[in-house]
Amino acid sequence: MKQWRRFVRSFSYALQGIVHTVKTQRNMRIHVAAATIVLAAAWWLQTPRSDVLLVFFSIGLVFALELVNTAVEAAVDLASPNWHAKAKIAKDASAGAVLVAAIVSVAIGILVFGPPLLDKVAHWL
């Protein structure tokens, strides 16, 4: 029973980190909005399961890296409240990781949603 409580407490802390990031980070809110739109599009386009799995993986990767970026920024700000070149590198690199994942996600989105969207548009014309 004690292990179960520890697990629930750890899960609660993780959820608090997610909620904090969504509340305080504009980019995370943008990612959440984009993910909602993308998942609605996947449903509307009746996207095959294998493609939806790629989309989910992309969303999860971007969310995870945004959470790590937030953690890195907070830790760097705590350790180095004044500007420092190495602090800048750490923050820029973690933001860069999010950017790379977001770019890859956009590419996956184009490959997954491009053909069915073109078919829908062609059908309407």
Kindly give the parts of the chain with pLDDT less than 50. Answer: none
Mind giving me the DSSP string for 57-124?
HHHHHHHHHHHHHHHHHHHHHHH--S--HHHHHHHHHHHHHHHHHHHHHHHHHHHHHHHHHHHHHHHH
Q: Is the pTM of this model over 0.75?
A: yes
Contact 9, 80 (CB under 8 A): no
**73 in catalytic set:** no
Predicted confidence at residue 124, as pLDDT, reads: 85
Burial of 20 (0-12, 13-18, 19+ CB in 10 A): middle
pLDDT tens digits, one per residue of 9-30: 999 999 999 999 999 999 999 9
Predicted confidence at residue 45, as pLDDT, reads: 95
Closest CA to 108 of 47, 66, 67: 47
The CATH number of the domain holding residue 16 is: 1.10.287.3610
Predicted confidence at residue 71, as pLDDT, reads: 98
Predicted confidence at residue 38, as pLDDT, reads: 97
Domain count, the chain: 1
Predicted confidence at residue 2, as pLDDT, reads: 86
Considering the candidates 31, 42, 66, 97, report the single residue annotated as catalytic. 66
Q: To which residue do tokens 């770019």 refer?
A: 103
Residues 77 and 67: their CA atoms lie apart, in Å, by 15
The residue segments making up the domain with residue 29 are 2-124
Mean pLDDT score of the chain: 96
Predicted confidence at residue 123, as pLDDT, reads: 86
